[in-house]
Every structure is written in structure tokens, then in C-alpha cells.
Structure 1
Amino acid sequence: MKKRLLIMVLWMITAGTLLACSPQTENAQFVEESKTRLIPGTYRAEFDQPDSRGWTPFLVMEINDEGKIAEVNFDYISTEGTFKTQDADYNQRMTAANGLGPKTYCPRFAKNLIIYQDPAQVDGITGATSSSQEFKQLAQAAYAAAEKGSQGTVYLSHIPEGDQGSGEGDS
């Protein structure tokens, strides 16, 4: 009798351990399916007017056929049509003042959005406070458009610069 009871207890412990250690494929599948699937296409968000220095931030996000963020371009365009990441003088001044310029931080934001696939997961960058805030706003707007499949440009209003915090200096 004791032998039978011991075998039954051992069998229950073994079965419980195997069940607890087995992969949770159903749960993993549920988690994967519950994530938002973005609609393939190109989505653009930009501010409706330039900032006080003449730069308009914009973000273009490409969603592939799997519903994943595949490409991101975050930059600023001047009223003359030049890009902040390609403005050598501006990058030099920003790097001297803050330790990095848009040539460095704009692609870093874009890369992190591709890695994390969620604007809320992309951290700000020290020395690029205003750009961190603008990137987040633009990325969230483009992401929301991609959830709906709305491929028209999303225009956001600029927050008055005095309300944004420390910003990135006078460069």
C-alpha cells in the first residue's frame, strides 16, 4: 500500500513538474496575436509650422507586410529646404554645446523605434530634450495612423517653446 502511494505521489510530482516547465505555446500565441498589427504602408507625421529657428520636425514610418515598423526617418527641414541632419554648421554647434547633434540623435531615435516597435518604449536622449519630445509626439501620431491605415500626413501643432522645458539651447 505504501509503495503504491509513493509511486502515485512521485507520478503526480513528475507530471506537475513537466506541465509547469513545458512551453506555453497557447499563451505565447495569444500574446503575439493580442499585439496591435500595423497596416502596411507609409505613414508621415509632421508639425504644422516651423519652430522659432525655422526647423519643422517630421517623421516617416514604413510598415512592412508583416505589420512591423521596417524603416523610419526622423529629421527636420528648414524653410530653405535643407535637413538638420545634413547641416554641418548646425551639427557642429549642437555637438559643441550638448555633446551630440541631430546627425547622431535623429538616426538613433529611428533605429530604436524599429528595435522596440513601440514609440512609448523609445527613451529620450540627454542633450536632445526638445527633439526627444518632438520625436515621441510624431512617432505616436504616425503609429496611431498605421493602426488605422490612414496614410495621409498627420499634422501636429507645436507646443510653445517656453512650455517645453530646457530644450536644446540656442543653436
Structure 2
Amino acid sequence: MKKKWTILLCSVMLVGLLAACGNEKDATPPTTEPTNEAVTPAVTEGQDKYQDGAYYAEGTLDESSGWKPYVVLSVKDGAIATVDWNFVSSKGGPDKKTLDKAGNYGMKAKGNAQADWYEQAAKAEQFLIEKQDPAAITLDGEGKTDAITGVSIHVNDLAVLAKQALDAGPTEPGAYKDGSYHAEAAEFDPASGWKGTVDLTVANGKIINAFFSGVNEAGEDKQANSIEGKYGMKANGGSIAEWHEEAQAAQDFLIEKQDPAAITMNGEGKTDVISGVTIHVSDFVTLSQKALEGAN
């Protein structure tokens, strides 16, 4: 009898021991294998998207309209802060915005548009600042957009040049103040009958457009007069080039050098520093300096 009770007691103890071991195993928390995957922090859209600085791009001259587009952007804290989309004219005079604000472009008055060009341009500029991406300005086949309320003008130049400027990276601004500048001689030259004129456009601190011409008492423009063959410097004076061609070479030289003083002159008001230019450039130099007084 004692033997039976001993066997029974051992069996009970063995079952209890096994149960306790089983419960202890089940209570052990599962282990997690370590991972090498890095946790990527959330990035706010547009944050630090662009490098701070000034950006600039210009397009090509449209021969039919005589306008050439350009865009100046500024980036602050990684975001586009300001946008200036504008045009310069091959015929001189102020930039397109200045001309329009003075009432001399007249999309509303002459074309029954819902708003003048400069007003629609401002909406397009603001849209780019809000969206922070030129690709947001979706274009149709005519270069217009349905993405910007109240804008019916062609905006392809803004979209293309803004992207071009941003892709190129920041550029060092020049020393002048942006704007359009005009200067003209005080009176008509008694010998030639012309009064010299100069128009300059500054963008991103640099001279991007120059127009050296003149006007006579009939109101004719000297460059236009030469282009039409009325001045006749080659035919009448045996010159190697027409007056407007030499004037345009002087314009290009000023844009390259960015300083009228770079055009050195002799006692007759002519220069040896610009190849192919034999005309008097004294008016161009002095009037350019006078025009830039407002840009310093």
C-alpha cells in the first residue's frame, strides 16, 4: 500500500512540475530581430527646394512683335520669394510693364481684355510663388493656361524661363537697380538735325538691353530711318556699314562691358575699342551715363 501511495505522489508532483515549466515558457515575451532600415523623417513639400539667391534667364527676340522676354527670381529660405516676368523692346523705350502701366499698351482699352497685361502678369507671378514649381503652369498648344484664374495672356515664356533660371542655379546680381532708363540730348544738333536718345533696361542688376538712336523734328527715329534706307551712310558716305548696324554694335559692347566708360573716345567723339564702329559715339556714352544715374 505504501508503495502505491509513493508512486501516486510522484506522478502528481511530476505533472505539476511540467505544468509550471509550460507556464513559465509561455510567459516569456517574444524577441524582435534588429533592423537596419533607416527611418526617413517627413519632409515638408517645397522646404529647402531651391538654393537661396538670385536667378535670371532671358528668351529670344520675337521678330514679329519686337519683344524679348526675361525672368528674374529670388529665392529665400529655399522657396521662391519674388518673380519679375517682363519684356524688352528691340525698338527701345521702356520695358513692357512700364509701358503698360503708363497706358501705352492698352489690352483693355484696345482689345477689350478682362485686365491689362501687367495685371495678368502679376497674377501669373503670384501663382508661381504659391505653387513653387513652373510645371504647375500647365500650357495649351497656344502657350496659354487654364490653371490661373483671370489670366488669358500667353504665359509660356514665364513657365519656360522660370524653369530655365532655376535649373541654371543662382547668378551674381549686377551693381545697378532694376528698371528702364531713358536719356536724351537737350536739343537738336544744328548740323545733323538729330537729337540723340538712349534707352537702357536693367534686370538682375545688369544692363540687358540698350538702344542708341535719335529723333528729328519730324519725330522720326534714327535707327528706323537707317533700317528703311533713308539715312544712307553706305550709299552716300561710302561707309562699311549702315548707321543702325554700327549703333547696334555699340549697344552690344555696352551690354558686354556693363559700363559706358569702357567706350573710350578720341577728340572727335569716335572710338577704336569697338570693331567696325566708325560713327560718333559720344552721345551714346554721355547719355548712357546720364540714364544710369537713376540706377546707381
Fold equivalence (TM over 0.5) = yes
2:13 alignment counterpart = none
* Aligned equivalents of 1:132, 1:55: Cα separation in 2: 14
2:159 alignment counterpart = 136
TM-score (norm 2): 0.36
- CA RMSD for the aligned pairs? 2.9
**Secondary structure at 2:167 match in 1:** helix
Percent identical among aligned pairs is 25
2:127 alignment counterpart = 112
Count the aligned residue pairs.
122
**Structure 2 unaligned spans of 5+:** 1-38, 139-144, 174-202, 204-296
Q: CA deviation at 1:36?
A: 6.3
The higher-RCO structure (CA 8 Å, 6+ apart) is: 1
1:74 maps onto 2:89 in alignment: no
How has the CA–CA distance of structure 1 residues 48 and 94 changed in structure 2, closer, same or farther, with 3 Å as cutoff? Answer: farther
Give matches, 1:18-33, under 5 Å.
Answer: 29-32=41-44
Which amino acid in the other structure matches residue 37 of structure 1?
K
**Structure 1 unaligned spans of 5+:** 1-25, 154-171
Query: Does structure 2 retain, via aligned residues, the 8 Å contact 1:69–1:117?
Result: yes
**Displacement over 3 Å in runs of 4+:** 33-36, 92-95, 149-153
TM-score (norm 1): 0.59
Q: CA deviation at 1:96?
A: 2.5
1:59 maps onto 2:71 in alignment: yes
* Aligned equivalents of 2:96, 2:53: Cα separation in 1: 25
**Secondary structure at 1:60 match in 2:** strand
1:127 maps onto 2:152 in alignment: yes
Query: Does structure 1 retain, via aligned residues, the 8 Å contact 2:73–2:83?
Result: yes
